[in-house]
Structure 1
Amino acid sequence: MALSTARAAIDDSEFDRDTSVAARADEPGVYDAELSEGWTIGSAVNGGYLLAVAARALRAWLPHPDPLTITAHYLTPATAGPAVIRTQTVRVGRTMSTGQAFLLQRAEDGTEVERLRVLAGHSALDALPDDVRTSARPPLMPAYDACVGRESAPEGAPFVGSTAIMDRLDLRLDPATAGWAVGAPSGAGVIRGWLGLADGRDHDPLSLLLAVDALPPTAFDLGLQGWTPTLELTVHLRCRPAPGPVRVSLTTRNLAGGLLEEDAEVWDSADRLVAQSRQLARAPRG
């Protein structure tokens, strides 16, 4: 897919359709959703996608639209199918509101199982001051066309995988951080790449919640293979992204006790830091 700033119509976006929620008329603050198989890794739904679904429900419930800070605890693996999101208001102020959301699914025995618990502070990104004082710099990486896509991965590489979510992403990895795909991980715990959505939809605050959790895990660059389930994820949104794919840089500095942290920075086409995150995850056991 060529690097483009052409906007896809929101109504035609698979991401928006698959993160949509429907308010229950008889239960204020309660929303129904259908978690799509299209955003799964194996049988489990991607954590960033889940967070976007919960944030969309909070956006519908709270008076302020955008999550400035959002923290999720992943309690049990979510699967494709019906889900319910129960939202609560914690506090409402003039420029910021705080709410929480609980995402639940029905187990085979009919009981409700909580998958995700979220606490978020919402405001309006477009109303934030535009003063920027930062020492942060965009990641040094090749241009989009010089990075490698899924079609370049060798047969059997984990980058190819049988993960449905890969078909919905336009992901191009920095070759310097993709050696693990050919059996040569660097051991540095770094993954970088360009990220867009396959249908051409530009990023917005909700899709940035997906972006911080959409690249292959840094555990691959540490020489580990297998599922890396997220236990907790906190995302800070700094501004609304400019059109075009974003650059995502992931780093892990410490793996101990079977756990690792993964720090993400997301930069837009205007060289602005638009999102940051940290997650705690279980290291692969295999």
Structure 2
Amino acid sequence: MNTSFSPNALSVRDPWAMVPSIGNLDAYISAVNRIPLLTPDEELSLGRQLRDHADLAAAGRLVLSHLRLVVSVSRQYLGYGLPQGDLIQEGNVGLMKAVKRFDPEQGVRLVSYALHWIKAEIHEYILKNWRMVKVATTKSQRKLFFNLRSLKQGFKGDALDGDTHRSTLSADEVAQVAQGLNVKPEEVIEMETRMAGGDVALEPQSDEGEEAFAPIAYLSDVSQEPTRVLEARARDELSGDGIQRALEVLDERSRRVVEERWLKVNDDSSGGMTLHELAAEYGVSAERIRQIEVAALKKMRKALAPA
């Protein structure tokens, strides 16, 4: 696959054909960095073609020549734990919005105009997908969200005691950040706490193998699974009212045999009477008592079966 680009490569009718079909992020970054930049005159000409004639090929060339800008901006947001590929994708959306709205007669280069739109899309993506979106709800909190990390690095750089591994802000530093970003000190502390905590995947990642163990394995409550709840409810009913209804279908002797053999528990936990004890009481053989027991249990199961 040839990924080299000539200076006049952007003149092709289908500019998107210049980006090779590759799935590797490093290869993509390498490819877009090889796309030549537009001169001011080329950018002005293409901008007029897009504005006056809705020329999609011109729009494509403007976008392609600035893909490297999106890659550069995306690197500034790698500390938020989101894949760079996703950040680049969202940044590209912002770039296309900028190209669509670009006015070449304003005397501003597209690179300066597009920077705002690229960052805006990436900011929105981070706020929607990161776990502390509920905190960054106001304009000042959003500013805190995207500036706290760099401010903390600045405090570490100014430290006189050599403690460059300190992860938390002092009370004075919290006050400085709160004053500078127009937020409450408590909001600074809460935001720092959330940013300091690591994200944990609930499910094992695909490359961790079959033996991978993740929190989802012990966070799920199997006792509340619907089928288990229904089974437990049915079991409780059968062990209570259900057993009583089943005993009512038996004659007196069969009922006593079942109660003595299966339902009675003495104080010494020895259970009820044995087959031989019941046989002696009723004047029959132990085998006859066993037959009565089997027939009685069969009747009870039939009585408990759903209609």
Q: TM-score under structure 2 normalisation?
A: 0.18
Bigger relative contact order (CA 8 A; separation at least 6): 1
**Which structure features the higher share of strand residues?**
1
TM-score of the pair, normalised by structure 1 = 0.19
Q: Say which structure is richer in helix.
A: 2
Higher-Rg structure is 2
